[in-house]
Amino acid sequence: MCIGMPMQVTATEPGHAWCEGRGERRRVNTALVGAVVPGDWLLVFLGDAREHIDADRAAEVNAALDLVLGAMQGLDADGDAGFALPSQMTAEQLRQLSGQA
């Protein structure tokens, strides 16, 4: 399974960007997303940028990843995910989420 990691561009070079996110810095291939500039947010899978995202989306993904990490470490899911978790949704919201509106 691949998990996308939000990373912020800190520097660029032809076809690649240096990005930082979740406590690490790495050189990322940008062929699939085109031109990037420092400050841009990217969703990165296995060293390749797959999508431009905004800062709000980056925060949502980071919050979800924090919950996954916490669960893997045996912690209770008391944190704020930054979005509505399915377990906190009404039946109607779940139908809409699954396309059964």
Burial, 4: exposed, middle or buried (Cβ in 10 Å; 0-12, 13-18, 19+)? middle
Number of H helices, E strands in the chain: 2, 5
| Count of positions (residues) in the chain | 101
Domains and CATH numbers, the chain: 5-97 (2.30.30.140)
Nearest residue to 67 via CA among 96, 39, 94, 88 = 88
This prediction has a pTM of 0.71
pLDDT in tens for each of the 101 residues of the chain? 568 899 999 999 999 999 999 999 999 999 999 999 999 999 999 999 999 999 999 998 888 888 888 777 776 655 555 566 677 778 888 787 777 76
